[in-house]
Amino acid sequence: MKEDRPVTILASGNAGKLRELQLALGDTGLTLHSQDKYEVPEALEDGLTFVENALKKARNAAQHTGFTALADDSGLVVPALDGAPGIYSARYADGGDAANNIKLLEQMSGFEGEERKAWYVCVLILLRGPKDPSPLIAEGYWHGHIAAKPSGNSGFGYDPLFAVDASGRTAASLSAVEKQRLSHRGQAVAKLRQQLGY
């Protein structure tokens, strides 16, 4: 498929990630398209870390399209649950975000105070081609805790349960601009922008 401008494939079909990354990287010259547009099959995410899985996704998208590929592997780490949901955050329970949130609340039952601390992790990897030996790697972390019940109407994933300050305000209560400034993905994007010279 011929494109007028250089395309970067986002190695994900997640519409929420695509929106956030298009907003965050819109002025860098990267024209982000979802891998779904090019019928890229899902990568096998059998790595044990966010970095390994992000690299697998980026390489898979680059191999299938020939374009530069950007992969985001991110998730929620809860120490009280031995790091779960971790690299399995998107598929913690069958049924998508709502089911994942219900399962997390069930698993957190009985935990209080510091036991409810958690953090989001985001690893961004940019591959300039399938054989790129020197990918750009940027990581970001966002610390908070798991709220007792969901609140807020924006965001996606665990945002309704991820309390970001002492008031109990969740990531799903933040504006897109505020979330971009504070979030794990926002921090990883800032580091990637530095590496791209922006």
Catalytic residue numbers, as ranges: 73
**What are 36's two structure tokens?**
């779904």
Going 119 to 113 to 108 to 157, the CA torsion angle's sign is negative
**What are 191's two structure tokens?**
């580091």
Dump the DSSP string for 27-57: TTT-EEEEGGGGTPPPP----SSHHHHHHHH
CA distances from 49 to 12, 85, 98, 135, 156 (A): 17, 12, 24, 16, 22
Alpha-carbon span 8 to 178, nearest angstrom: 25
